[in-house]
Amino acid sequence: MLDIRGVTKSYGTRKVLSDVSFTVGDGRMTGFVGANGAGKTTTMRIILGVLSPNAGIVLIDGVPVTPNDRRRFGYMPEERGLYPKMKVAEQLVYLARLHGLTPASARRNTDDLLERLGLTERARDTVESLSLGNQQRAQIAAALVHDPEFLVLDEPFSGLDPLAVEVVMSVLAGYAAQGAPVLFSSHQLDIVERLCDDLVIIADGEIRANGSREALREQHSSPRYEIRTAGDTGWIRSQPGITVIDFDGDFAVFEAETDAASQAVLHRAITIGAVHTFSQQRPSLATIFKEVIA
């Protein structure tokens, strides 16, 4: 488990992170969401030890992370970059060896990854000769080539076509399924919504929301329900503790003061006739995000 505790960072008088704390659990895909300049990249750099915080610590399973632990991380920086004039495979082997792999296992991992990411045919090309999408795949390979135990990925999906997004999603999900904590940031909230188990929302250098996706949705759910029945729903207006927000013949949206009041509506609807849908309105991630950072 990756534990970020009370991390604060300022550049001069400008505070970019204040008391940032959250955890990335084993096997949890954790989405890290925030506006531009909210502090995502700075937080990730601090986790990786590229930057040092003014206060706070990063713990692995309760033990402060040391420079030697860095080799256990797979890191994909926001600003992409590999050596342009170096061949893809050669570059991956080099990075794997810097992380402490033997030459043989570095080569084996490189071949495996290129295969999984569909880059085998480009292995001997220089990075600068690759298309942007393939450069992005090579970048992901660079983050994974040393069999990391933790993944910290800054915008891993930006610049990928939908097909590549699927490939990368499945690779990352595979890592999480093996028990690795995975922290990734993204502006594409729909992807985060599909992929993440946990969610951390940051704004102006402060963590605004943090928890499992479902718990957050629960928290930000309004007491608002929608119902669609076979007949007219006009009777709902006369139910106690209910305010109708929207009404259109067989369809109604209403707010209930209590759970019991909403259940009473459902009971009555069933006695009147068929009920096609009855559900509490769940906010989308985008809605939660807007609400949280507002």
Site string for other proteins, 122-161 (x = CB under 8 A): --------------------xx--xx-x------------
Q: Is 170 left (phi over 0), alpha (psi -120 to 50) or beta?
A: alpha
Name every residue whose Cβ is closer than 8 Å to that of residue 119 and which is 6 or more positions away in sequence: 88, 113, 134, 137, 138, 141
Radius of gyration over every alpha carbon of the chain, rounded to an integer in angstroms: 24
Q: Which stretch binds other proteins (CB under 8 A): 44-52, 161-169, 211-219, 244-252?
A: 44-52
Shortest CB 70 distance to other proteins, Å: 6
Residue 6 in contact with other proteins, rule: CB under 8 A:
no
Cα 146 vs. chain centroid, distance in angstroms? 22
| 103-116 and 132-144 helices, crossing angle to 10° | 140
- Label the pairing between strands 150-154 and 182-185: parallel
Nearer to other proteins, 49 or 241 (CB): 49
* Out of 13, 14, 79, 294, the residue judged to bind other proteins by CB under 8 A: 79
Asked if 239 interacts with other proteins (CB under 8 A), we say no
Of 101 and 117, nearer to other proteins (C-beta) is 101
The neighbour count for residue 151, using CB atoms within 10 Å, is 25
| Contact status: 23 vs other proteins (CB under 8 A) | no
CB atoms < 10 A from the CB of 283, how many? 18
3-state secondary structure of 52: coil
**By three-state DSSP, how is residue 91 classified?**
helix
Write out the two tokens for 142.
């660079």
**What is the nearest approach in angstroms of other proteins to the Cβ of residue 124?**
13
Minimum distance of other proteins from residue 175's CB (angstroms): 11
Q: Per CB under 8 A, which of residues 80..109 are in contact with other proteins?
A: 80-86, 94-95, 97-101, 105
- Min. distance of Cβ 86 from other proteins in angstroms? 7
- DSSP of 105-124: HHHHHHHHHHHHTT-GGGTT
Distance CA 40, CA 32 (A): 7
* Choices 157-165, 179-187, 210-218, 238-246; region in contact with other proteins by CB under 8 A: 179-187
For position 255 contacting other proteins by CB under 8 A, the verdict is no
The conformational region for residue 100 under phi > 0 = left, psi -120 to 50 = alpha, else beta, is: left
Contact range with other proteins by CB under 8 A, out of 41-49, 115-123, 157-165, 260-268? 41-49
In the complex with other proteins, which residue's Cβ is closer, 142 or 191?
142
Binding site for other proteins (CB under 8 A): 1, 26, 45, 48-51, 61, 67-68, 70-73, 75, 77, 79-86, 94-95, 97-101, 105, 142-143, 146-147, 149, 178-181
